[in-house]
Amino acid sequence: MGHYAAIWDHKAAIEVTKDWNGIDQVVLRNPRGASVRVSLHGGQVTSWRNDRGEELLFTSSKAIFKPPKAMRGGIPICFPQFGNCGSLEQHGFARNKIWSIDENPPPLHPNDSLGKSLVDLLLKPSDEDLKCWPRCFEFRLRVSLAADGKLTLISRIRNINGKPFHFSFAYHTYLSVSDISEVRIEGLETLDYLDNLCQRKRFTEQGDAITFESEVDRVYLSSPNVIAVLDHERKRTYVIRKEGLPGLVWNPWEKKAKAMLDFGDDEYKQMLCVDGAIIEKPITLKPGEEWTGRLELGVVPSSFCDEG
């Protein structure tokens, strides 16, 4: 446990508990009282609270907390595909599998550990996974909570042997918002996206910012490394920093909300998925190669100043 001892030295803490299904979950805390909960089911972040104890991620009141399906909310990890094609399940199997705690992860940059409360998780393919997706991979996920309350997820996917393979990926991030009609996204204006509601036709965003009046389901082809989600009513801005992850924006709106069993009829008003995701141009990994996808989520109380 030397790895975790180093974290305690930074006055941060991690605790491993069982959830209601007996599955391990890891709670990270920082010295100011912010916290993050990660389930080994799916490596899914299921809660992120600020130092006032306010929940920043959406979880449906109808969410089903039972394997094998991912629960509706938090940050499900979508891999090795985002979407629904071929024999793989929708959004891939990673979110439905039981991950393990990685006691000896290969090193990351010291800034990815220093002063942070963190846990490293590992997913390797089971025999069953290899039948439907015969690729030799190791997926390492680091989830960390910084002293300022920022949540960072770092995914490292490695081709450990055999043939090159392709994958797509998403941090399917369910943000909690006061009222979707009071929310806007800045940073995606003038960008091209594929509209899942129009047979994936390509459009260019025209407005100054994205606002919401109906269902939205868009895959972005590129996006800046920083985007902001402004919630006027709560006077809260999510600042999303990412690398190599163009992204996706989704709100199911009324009709689709009603069609989802694990989602309340009106809950579309309180959530917005703004994902760090790479969907349209899958990643290719040759044997021995590794891909890294980083997402950092922070919250600032007032309006967002573009830092580029």
Residues 6+ apart with CB under 8 A from 115: 10, 12, 146, 147
Q: Residue 16: how many CB atoms within 10 A of its CB? A: 12
The correct pick among 217, 231, 280, 296 for binding ligand TA6 (CB under 6 A) is: 217
* 81 known member of a binding site: no
Residue 50 in the binding site for ligand TA6 (CB under 6 A): no
Helix (H) or strand (E) holding 62: none
* 202 known member of a binding site: no
* Whole-number Å distance between alpha carbons of 237 and 250: 18
The correct pick among 196, 211, 225, 270 for binding ligand TA6 (CB under 6 A) is: 196
Q: Based on CB atoms, which residue is closest to ligand TA6, 22 or 86?
A: 86
* 72 known member of a binding site: yes
- CB of 153 vs ligand TA6, minimal distance in Å: 17
Residue 90 in the binding site for ligand TA6 (CB under 6 A): yes
Residues 301, 206, 82, 224, Cα dihedral to 10° = -50
Rule CB under 6 A: which of 95-114 touch ligand TA6? none
User: What is the separation of C-alpha 280 from the centre of its chain, rounded to a whole number of angstroms?
Assistant: 17
Residue 198 in the binding site for ligand TA6 (CB under 6 A): no
Please work out the total of residues on this chain that contact ligand TA6, with binding judged by CB under 6 A: 6
The correct pick among 37, 41, 49, 91 for binding ligand TA6 (CB under 6 A) is: 91
Give the angle 235-294-143 at the CA atoms, nearest 5°. Answer: 80
Residue 171 in the binding site for ligand TA6 (CB under 6 A): no
- CB of 114 vs ligand TA6, minimal distance in Å: 34
Tell me the sheet residues that pair with 298: 239
Residue 116 in the binding site for ligand TA6 (CB under 6 A): no
Of residues 273, 253, 279, the one with CA closest to residue 265: 253
Give the angle 13-118-65 at the CA atoms, nearest 5°. Answer: 90
Joined together, the tokens standing for residue 88 give 């793989």
- CB of 197 vs ligand TA6, minimal distance in Å: 9
Residue 169 in the binding site for ligand TA6 (CB under 6 A): no
Helix (H) or strand (E) holding 251: strand 248-251
Residue 250 in the binding site for ligand TA6 (CB under 6 A): yes
Q: Based on CB atoms, which residue is closest to ligand TA6, 91 or 241?
A: 91
8-state DSSP, 65? -
- Asked if residues 250 and 216 have their Cβ atoms less than 8 Å apart, the reply is yes
- CB of 94 vs ligand TA6, minimal distance in Å: 12
Residue 248 in the binding site for ligand TA6 (CB under 6 A): yes
Residue 267 in the binding site for ligand TA6 (CB under 6 A): no
* Whole-number Å distance between alpha carbons of 23 and 21: 5
Residue set of the binding site:
72, 90, 95
Residue set of the binding site for substrate:
72, 90, 95
What residues make contact with ligand TA6 under the rule CB under 6 A?
A: 90-91, 196, 217, 248, 250
